[in-house]
Amino acid sequence: MATSGSKCRACKAPAVIDLPRHNANFCAEHLLQLCRRQVEKAIDDYEMFSKDDRLLVAVSGGKDSLAVWDMLVEAGYQADGFYVGLGIGDYSDESGDYVRRFADERGLTLVTVDLRDDYGYDIPTAAKVTKRVPCSACGMSKRHLFDKAARDGGYDAVVTGHNLDDEAAVLLGNVLRWDIEYLARQLPVLPARNGFPKKCKPLVRLTERETAAWCLIRGIDYLVEECPIAAGNRHLYYKDTLNSLEQKSPSSKSAFYLNFIDNMAPLLADQSAAAAGELNDCERCGSPTTNELCAFCRLVEKSSAHEPVPVELVLGKRGRS
């Protein structure tokens, strides 16, 4: 049996986790309390939503999206789930099972779309047809369907499970290129505009290690395996790099991201407003677009006409949009 000397900072019971960035150890109950407080702080500080709002949470079957759905429901928010079957081999079959089980066990409402059944294509096929990296077709499809589901269902805001590590890794990528337009839009909340719903990221103050611990302690069964297309991508490399830094210098990762939001993002505010131009409705689906047909409808048109492509054929083509 494992024995440990470390005690919870709050109650002095035996600790289950060490959090070097807080220079403290926590028992299971107080780790949960820390997570709840960080999420409430993010919701309040960035004015995300209230208990009167109807929320739609994008869920993938992974730890972050299930954790945020669980936290919101536990805290008394009205949150439904939204899942897209991407047709990425066994990964998609399994991820769908985890999401449905989570929703069923808790009696929660889950809105689902299946790319193959509902639109006649899947991500490997779309990647082949567009000759782009799979993550680019995937990200675009998910964003489009998520926005559409939010509009169709009359939701007040959409929620994603992006955590501190996700945001810090994207920030590192944007800073390495000094991509001012992306930097200006990298906020925990994007207001509704031009027919796009308000987008909120309540987990930006929690690391992945903390959201994973939330799931373990709460008994949430999530898909630990990754999407096979993610393996080896640049986003993961940035995360590893930041975690090596964090190992040597605890709390540098959160300072990097949270101080960007507090100190730098306000200076960039007018840069992102400039990017918002006039949009019209897509002729086919009514989504906001600068063209006659939106990018999603163009993708569906091309991909659904193509023979299904197995996921193995696109696994060499890595990278993230």
Which one among 179, 181, 240, 312 touches another protein, defined by CB under 8 A? Answer: 240
Determine, following the binding rule CB under 6 A, whether residue 230 of this chain makes contact with ligand SF4. Answer: yes
What single letter denotes the amino acid at residue 26?
Answer: F
* Between 244 and 290, CB nearer to another protein: 244
Closest CA to 35 of 58, 67, 59: 67
- Residue position matching structure tokens 């639109």: 119
Determine, following the binding rule CB under 8 A, whether residue 247 of this chain makes contact with another protein. Answer: yes
- Coil, strand, or helix at residue 193? strand
Per residue, what are the HEC states of 49-106?
CCCCCEEEEECCCCHHHHHHHHHHHHCCCEEEEEEEECCCHHHHHHHHHHHHHHHHHH
Count of positions on this chain that bind another protein (CB under 8 A)? 43
Which one among 19, 27, 138, 311 touches Zn ion, defined by CB under 5 A? Answer: 27
Chain residues 138-157 in contact with ligand SF4, contact rule CB under 6 A: 138-139
Q: Which does 134 bind (CB under 5 to 8 A by kind): Zn ion, another protein, ligand SF4, none?
A: ligand SF4
DSSP structure class, residue 175: H
Tell whether 161 is in a known binding site. yes
Longest dimension (CA), the chain: 65
Residue 79 to residues 6, 69, 90: CA-CA distances in angstroms?
A: 37, 7, 28
Tell whether 200 is in a known binding site. no
Determine, following the binding rule CB under 8 A, whether residue 283 of this chain makes contact with another protein. Answer: no
- Coil, strand, or helix at residue 195? coil
Tell whether 137 is in a known binding site. no
How would DSSP label each residue in 121-148?
Answer: --HHHHHHHHTS-HHHHHHHHHHHHHHH
Residues making up the binding site for Zn(2+) = 8, 11, 27, 30, 282, 285, 294, 297
Which residues would be at the binding site for another protein (CB under 8 A)?
1-6, 15-18, 20, 25, 28, 60, 62-64, 165, 207-209, 211-213, 216-217, 224-227, 230-231, 233, 235-236, 239-240, 243-244, 246-247, 253, 320
Site residues, ligand SF4 (CB under 6 A):
123, 134-135, 138-139, 227, 229-230
